[in-house]
Protein backbone atom coordinates (compact mmCIF):
# COMPACT_ATOMS: atom_id res chain seq x y z
CA UNK A 1 0.00 0.00 0.00
CA UNK A 2 2.78 2.43 0.96
CA UNK A 3 4.63 1.65 -2.27
CA UNK A 4 1.48 2.48 -4.21
CA UNK A 5 1.11 5.79 -2.41
CA UNK A 6 4.76 6.66 -3.09
CA UNK A 7 4.40 5.87 -6.82
CA UNK A 8 1.27 8.01 -6.95
CA UNK A 9 3.14 10.94 -5.41
CA UNK A 10 5.95 10.47 -7.88
CA UNK A 11 3.53 10.48 -10.82
CA UNK A 12 1.85 13.62 -9.48
CA UNK A 13 5.21 15.39 -9.14
CA UNK A 14 6.22 14.36 -12.67
CA UNK A 15 3.07 16.04 -14.03
CA UNK A 16 3.66 19.31 -12.20
CA UNK A 17 4.24 22.75 -13.74
CA UNK A 18 8.01 22.24 -13.65
CA UNK A 19 7.97 18.83 -15.34
CA UNK A 20 10.98 18.42 -17.62
CA UNK A 21 13.01 21.17 -15.97
CA UNK A 22 16.26 20.65 -14.08
CA UNK A 23 16.94 22.66 -10.92
CA UNK A 24 20.22 23.12 -9.05
CA UNK A 25 20.03 24.29 -5.43
CA UNK A 26 23.29 25.25 -3.74
CA UNK A 27 23.49 24.61 -0.01
CA UNK A 28 20.70 22.09 -0.53
CA UNK A 29 21.47 19.59 2.21
CA UNK A 30 19.57 21.28 5.04
CA UNK A 31 17.47 24.23 6.16
CA UNK A 32 16.22 26.64 3.52
CA UNK A 33 18.04 24.89 0.69
CA UNK A 34 16.52 21.49 1.41
CA UNK A 35 13.04 22.99 1.79
CA UNK A 36 13.43 24.69 -1.60
CA UNK A 37 14.63 21.48 -3.24
CA UNK A 38 11.67 19.55 -1.84
CA UNK A 39 9.19 22.21 -2.97
CA UNK A 40 10.58 22.35 -6.50
CA UNK A 41 10.54 18.55 -6.67
CA UNK A 42 6.87 18.60 -5.67
CA UNK A 43 6.27 20.86 -8.68
CA UNK A 44 7.80 18.24 -10.96
CA UNK A 45 11.41 19.34 -11.50
CA UNK A 46 14.45 17.08 -11.51
CA UNK A 47 16.66 18.13 -8.60
CA UNK A 48 20.40 18.56 -8.07
CA UNK A 49 21.80 19.72 -4.76
CA UNK A 50 25.31 20.53 -3.60
CA UNK A 51 27.06 21.34 -0.36
CA UNK A 52 30.14 20.45 1.65
CA UNK A 53 28.78 17.59 3.80
CA UNK A 54 28.37 14.36 1.86
CA UNK A 55 26.38 12.56 4.55
CA UNK A 56 23.83 15.38 4.83
CA UNK A 57 23.57 15.63 1.06
CA UNK A 58 22.90 11.90 0.77
CA UNK A 59 20.26 12.06 3.51
CA UNK A 60 18.55 15.03 1.84
CA UNK A 61 18.63 13.29 -1.55
CA UNK A 62 16.92 10.23 -0.09
CA UNK A 63 14.20 12.46 1.32
CA UNK A 64 13.70 14.19 -2.02
CA UNK A 65 13.56 10.85 -3.85
CA UNK A 66 10.29 10.14 -2.05
CA UNK A 67 8.91 12.87 -4.34
CA UNK A 68 11.07 12.80 -7.46
CA UNK A 69 12.95 9.84 -8.92
CA UNK A 70 15.54 12.04 -10.62
CA UNK A 71 17.75 13.46 -7.88
CA UNK A 72 21.49 14.10 -8.00
CA UNK A 73 23.92 15.35 -5.37
CA UNK A 74 27.59 16.22 -5.35
CA UNK A 75 29.96 17.72 -2.81
CA UNK A 76 31.22 21.10 -3.95
CA UNK A 77 32.75 24.25 -2.53
CA UNK A 78 30.82 26.96 -4.36
CA UNK A 79 33.63 29.43 -3.72
CA UNK A 80 35.95 27.44 -6.01
CA UNK A 81 35.62 27.80 -9.77
CA UNK A 82 37.02 24.37 -10.65
CA UNK A 83 34.63 22.57 -8.29
CA UNK A 84 31.69 24.52 -9.71
CA UNK A 85 32.63 23.63 -13.28
CA UNK A 86 32.82 19.94 -12.32
CA UNK A 87 29.47 20.20 -10.52
CA UNK A 88 27.63 21.82 -13.42
CA UNK A 89 29.12 19.35 -15.89
CA UNK A 90 28.05 16.41 -13.70
CA UNK A 91 24.51 17.75 -13.25
CA UNK A 92 24.09 18.28 -16.98
CA UNK A 93 25.43 14.79 -17.72
CA UNK A 94 23.14 13.18 -15.15
CA UNK A 95 19.94 15.23 -15.51
CA UNK A 96 20.28 17.61 -18.45
CA UNK A 97 20.75 21.37 -18.87
CA UNK A 98 20.01 23.42 -15.75
CA UNK A 99 16.94 25.59 -16.24
CA UNK A 100 16.48 26.70 -12.63
CA UNK A 101 19.35 27.84 -10.41
CA UNK A 102 18.77 28.67 -6.76
CA UNK A 103 21.84 30.33 -5.25
CA UNK A 104 21.09 29.54 -1.63
CA UNK A 105 24.47 28.72 -0.04
CA UNK A 106 25.21 31.21 2.71
CA UNK A 107 27.00 31.77 5.97
CA UNK A 108 26.47 34.24 8.82
CA UNK A 109 29.16 35.85 10.92
CA UNK A 110 28.34 38.74 13.21
CA UNK A 111 30.15 41.27 15.37
CA UNK A 112 31.89 44.62 14.85
CA UNK A 113 33.58 44.69 11.44
CA UNK A 114 36.80 46.12 12.88
CA UNK A 115 37.15 43.01 15.05
CA UNK A 116 36.87 40.56 12.16
CA UNK A 117 39.82 38.99 10.38
CA UNK A 118 40.59 39.01 6.69
CA UNK A 119 39.89 35.27 6.64
CA UNK A 120 36.42 35.83 8.11
CA UNK A 121 35.70 38.55 5.56
CA UNK A 122 36.79 36.25 2.72
CA UNK A 123 34.66 33.38 4.04
CA UNK A 124 31.46 35.41 4.25
CA UNK A 125 31.91 37.40 1.02
CA UNK A 126 33.06 34.27 -0.80
CA UNK A 127 30.10 32.15 0.25
CA UNK A 128 27.37 34.78 0.10
CA UNK A 129 28.46 36.80 -2.92
CA UNK A 130 31.34 35.38 -4.96
CA UNK A 131 29.64 31.97 -5.17
CA UNK A 132 26.57 33.53 -6.82
CA UNK A 133 28.81 35.11 -9.45
CA UNK A 134 30.71 31.87 -10.08
CA UNK A 135 27.78 29.44 -10.16
CA UNK A 136 25.60 31.78 -12.25
CA UNK A 137 28.43 32.32 -14.72
CA UNK A 138 28.79 28.55 -15.12
CA UNK A 139 25.06 27.97 -15.67
CA UNK A 140 24.02 30.96 -17.79
CA UNK A 141 25.53 29.77 -21.12
CA UNK A 142 23.22 26.73 -21.25
CA UNK A 143 20.25 28.93 -20.31
CA UNK A 144 21.12 31.27 -23.18
CA UNK A 145 21.25 28.31 -25.57
CA UNK A 146 17.87 27.14 -24.27
CA UNK A 147 16.37 30.59 -24.68
CA UNK A 148 15.42 31.07 -21.01
CA UNK A 149 15.78 30.08 -17.40
CA UNK A 150 15.33 31.18 -13.80
CA UNK A 151 18.02 32.30 -11.39
CA UNK A 152 16.85 32.89 -7.82
CA UNK A 153 19.31 34.41 -5.36
CA UNK A 154 18.52 33.98 -1.66
CA UNK A 155 19.49 37.24 0.01
CA UNK A 156 18.20 38.67 3.29
CA UNK A 157 16.48 41.71 4.73
CA UNK A 158 20.02 42.45 5.93
CA UNK A 159 20.66 43.34 2.29
CA UNK A 160 18.38 46.34 2.80
CA UNK A 161 19.00 47.24 6.43
CA UNK A 162 21.99 47.89 8.65
CA UNK A 163 22.47 46.93 12.30
CA UNK A 164 25.24 46.85 14.88
CA UNK A 165 27.45 43.82 14.39
CA UNK A 166 26.24 43.20 10.86
CA UNK A 167 29.05 44.87 8.90
CA UNK A 168 30.52 41.84 7.14
CA UNK A 169 27.22 40.01 6.66
CA UNK A 170 25.37 43.10 5.45
CA UNK A 171 28.21 43.90 3.04
CA UNK A 172 27.76 40.48 1.44
CA UNK A 173 23.98 40.80 1.16
CA UNK A 174 23.97 44.42 -0.04
CA UNK A 175 26.44 43.30 -2.68
CA UNK A 176 24.15 40.43 -3.61
CA UNK A 177 21.25 42.84 -4.06
CA UNK A 178 23.30 44.91 -6.51
CA UNK A 179 24.61 41.87 -8.38
CA UNK A 180 21.13 40.40 -8.69
CA UNK A 181 19.61 43.61 -10.03
CA UNK A 182 22.32 44.05 -12.64
CA UNK A 183 22.13 40.38 -13.69
CA UNK A 184 18.39 40.80 -14.17
CA UNK A 185 18.96 43.70 -16.55
CA UNK A 186 21.75 41.90 -18.40
CA UNK A 187 19.74 38.72 -18.97
CA UNK A 188 16.07 39.64 -19.27
CA UNK A 189 16.19 40.21 -23.03
CA UNK A 190 17.64 36.69 -23.35
CA UNK A 191 14.59 35.21 -21.64
CA UNK A 192 16.40 34.60 -18.34
CA UNK A 193 14.68 35.84 -15.20
CA UNK A 194 16.81 36.80 -12.20
CA UNK A 195 14.99 37.23 -8.90
CA UNK A 196 16.12 37.90 -5.36
CA UNK A 197 14.33 36.71 -2.23
CA UNK A 198 14.94 38.57 1.04
CA UNK A 199 13.75 36.66 4.10
CA UNK A 200 13.80 37.91 7.63
CA UNK A 201 14.88 35.66 10.50
CA UNK A 202 14.42 31.98 9.64
CA UNK A 203 14.40 29.09 12.13
CA UNK A 204 17.36 27.05 10.83
CA UNK A 205 20.83 25.88 11.93
CA UNK A 206 22.21 29.00 10.21
CA UNK A 207 24.61 30.93 12.43
CA UNK A 208 22.56 34.01 13.16
CA UNK A 209 22.38 36.63 15.88
CA UNK A 210 21.52 35.18 19.27
CA UNK A 211 18.61 32.90 20.14
CA UNK A 212 15.40 32.90 18.12
CA UNK A 213 11.80 32.66 19.30
CA UNK A 214 10.22 30.05 16.96
CA UNK A 215 6.90 31.90 17.20
CA UNK A 216 8.55 35.01 15.74
CA UNK A 217 10.63 33.52 12.95
CA UNK A 218 9.99 32.26 9.46
CA UNK A 219 10.18 28.58 8.59
CA UNK A 220 12.32 27.29 5.69
CA UNK A 221 9.10 26.33 3.92
CA UNK A 222 8.09 30.02 3.84
CA UNK A 223 11.13 30.82 1.72
CA UNK A 224 10.50 27.74 -0.44
CA UNK A 225 6.97 29.00 -1.07
CA UNK A 226 8.38 32.29 -2.38
CA UNK A 227 10.72 30.39 -4.70
CA UNK A 228 7.78 28.37 -5.99
CA UNK A 229 5.93 31.59 -6.79
CA UNK A 230 8.90 32.85 -8.79
CA UNK A 231 9.44 29.73 -10.90
CA UNK A 232 5.74 29.25 -11.69
CA UNK A 233 5.20 32.86 -12.75
CA UNK A 234 3.84 33.39 -16.27
CA UNK A 235 6.64 33.29 -18.82
CA UNK A 236 6.12 36.89 -19.91
CA UNK A 237 6.73 38.35 -16.43
CA UNK A 238 9.00 37.92 -13.42
CA UNK A 239 9.16 38.88 -9.77
CA UNK A 240 12.35 40.87 -9.37
CA UNK A 241 12.32 40.84 -5.56
CA UNK A 242 10.29 39.26 -2.79
CA UNK A 243 10.62 40.29 0.86
CA UNK A 244 9.40 37.70 3.36
CA UNK A 245 8.89 38.75 6.98
CA UNK A 246 7.73 37.00 10.14
CA UNK A 247 4.20 38.07 11.02
CA UNK A 248 5.17 38.89 14.60
CA UNK A 249 8.04 41.21 15.37
CA UNK A 250 10.65 39.89 17.76
Catalytic positions, please? Answer: 169
Q: Please tell me what DSSP assigns to residue 127.
A: I
206 vs 119: CA distance, rounded Å = 19
Tell me the HSE value of 73 on the side-chain side, using a 13 A CA sphere. 26
Task: Calculate ∠ Cα 45-49-52, nearest 5°.
Answer: 175
CB 107 within 8 A of CB 120: no
Cβ contact 124:169 at 8 Å: yes
Chain mean position to CA 151 = 9
Q: How far apart are CA 196 and CA 194, in angstroms?
A: 7
Amino acid sequence: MMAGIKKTKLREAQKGPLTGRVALVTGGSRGIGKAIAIKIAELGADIAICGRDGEKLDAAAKEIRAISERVFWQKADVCRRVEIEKLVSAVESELGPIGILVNNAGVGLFGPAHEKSEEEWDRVLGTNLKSVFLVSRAVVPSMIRAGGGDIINISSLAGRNTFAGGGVYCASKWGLQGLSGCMAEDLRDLGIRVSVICPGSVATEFSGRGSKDPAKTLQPEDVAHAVAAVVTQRAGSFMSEIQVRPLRKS
